[in-house]
Amino acid sequence: MRRTFLMIAAASALCGNTLTHAQNQSLGPPPGITVTGTAEIKIRPNMATVRFLVHTDADTAVAAIQQNQQRLAQIVKVLLQNGVAAEDVQSGDFSVTPNDNYDEPGVVGPMILDYTVTGAAKITVRNLSNLGQLLDLLAKAGAHRIAEIRFASSDPAALRQEAYCQALANAHKNAELFARSAGVRLGQLLAIQDQQLAITPPPSSNLLPNINAPQPIAGPVGETVSAQLVVRYAIGAARADGTASAAKPATSNR
């Protein structure tokens, strides 16, 4: 019951609607109307993260690692000189691969020829109109491959809040419909149960923009935020005319 009280209080603060929680019932829950509220928000991304790779080869693993780190440092220096903020550049992991001649005819057992190190780093692009220019800059600075471009919103928490508020408003609308159809009043809100909050990524074909396009890259539609709530209301007294009075729906403060 305490969990139910906390969820209702949180929903009241979140969506700007005065919600009254249920009183403790010693004889079981009162008659009620239980409905499901859903919402889905399509995110229009305003930022992107770019993961790029650098390859280096050397006779020893140590030398290959050192060369890789030097190359990455040079690329980061170029990025900083061209307006990328230091907090928007993040070093990643690296891999070391020995190259051998095991498959050559006449060779008995593997013989390591040299080592290849692949280092990764990531930059955050906060202005999507500059994305194509930054990709070109990475290639000129020495990046060997753009491994991934992922679009996102800079304020995902606000989008999750909006999805919850829309789902609660949808549940309230459904409950009003049921109460009106049954000829009763919609009573106080008793419980809210979070069933699902999902973030679905866009199709992979939409992740990579056309970097050769002459116009600025605006980015595709990003993830979809969907919310689902199960909400229970008390049933008020039946109206003499068989209709229920409309209650104030939940609204968002955004």
pTM of the model: 0.59
Instruction: Tell me whether residue 250 is in a domain.
Output: no
Instruction: Please check the confidence at residue 246 and state whether its pLDDT lies above 60.
Output: no
Q: Contact, 163 vs 197, CB < 8 A?
A: yes
Confidence of residue 158 (pLDDT cuts 50, 70, 90): confident
Instruction: Please check the confidence at residue 144 and state whether its pLDDT lies above 50.
Output: yes
Say whether both 234 and 188 belong to one domain.
yes
For residue 67, give both structure tokens: 């060369």
Say whether both 109 and 199 belong to one domain.
no
For residue range 3-39, list pLDDT tens digits in order: 444 454 455 555 654 344 444 444 566 689 999 999 9
For residue 99, the model assigns a pLDDT of 86
For residue range 111-133, list pLDDT tens digits in order: 788 999 999 999 999 988 888 88
Q: 107 or 229, which is more confident? A: 229
Residue with structure tokens 């991304």?
Answer: 45
- Picking from 2, 4, 37, the residue whose alpha carbon sits closest to that of residue 189 is 4
Instruction: Tell me whether residue 113 is in a domain.
Output: yes
How many domains would you assign to the chain? Answer: 2
For residue range 51-109, list pLDDT tens digits in order: 999 999 999 999 999 999 999 999 999 999 888 899 999 988 889 998 887 666 665 66
Q: 91 or 254, which is more confident? A: 91
For residue 49, give both structure tokens: 């993260």
- Picking from 191, 193, 196, the residue whose alpha carbon sits closest to that of residue 227 is 196
Say whether both 148 and 169 belong to one domain.
no
Instruction: Tell me whether residue 87 is in a domain.
Output: yes
Say whether both 184 and 169 belong to one domain.
yes
Mean pLDDT of 204-224: 48
Contacts of residue 78, defined as CB under 8 A and 6 or more positions apart, other chains included, come to 137, 140, 141
For residue 157, the model assigns a pLDDT of 83
Task: List the domain range (segments joined by +) for residue 233.
Answer: 2-44+155-238
How far is the CA of 234 from the CAs of 46, 97, 123, 249, in angstroms? Answer: 42, 65, 52, 15
Q: Contact, 192 vs 11, CB < 8 A?
A: yes
Instruction: Please check the confidence at residue 251 and state whether its pLDDT lies above 60.
Output: no
Give the β-pairing of 112-125 and 32-42.
Answer: unpaired
Mean pLDDT of the chain: 78
Say whether both 203 and 191 belong to one domain.
yes
The single-letter DSSP state of residue 130 is G
Mean pLDDT of 215-230: 69
Instruction: Tell me whether residue 166 is in a domain.
Output: yes
Instruction: Tell me whether residue 28 is in a domain.
Output: yes
Rama region for 28: left / alpha / beta (φ>0; ψ in -120 to 50; rest):
left
CATH for 53:
3.30.70.2970
Instruction: Please check the confidence at residue 224 and state whether its pLDDT lies above 90.
Output: no
Instruction: Please check the confidence at residue 110 and state whether its pLDDT lies above 80.
Output: no
Q: 108 or 187, which is more confident? A: 187
CATH for 7:
3.30.110.170
Burial zone of 254 (CB within 10 Å; 0-12 exposed, 13-18 middle, 19+ buried): exposed
Q: Helices 2-15 and 156-182: crossing angle, nearest 10°?
A: 110
Residue with structure tokens 């060997």?
Answer: 144
Instruction: Please check the confidence at residue 214 and state whether its pLDDT lies above 50.
Output: no
Instruction: Tell me whether residue 253 is in a domain.
Output: no
- Residue 122 and residue 161: Cα distance in Å, rounded? 28
> Which percentage of the chain shows pLDDT scores above 90?
38
- Residue 150 and residue 122: Cα distance in Å, rounded? 11
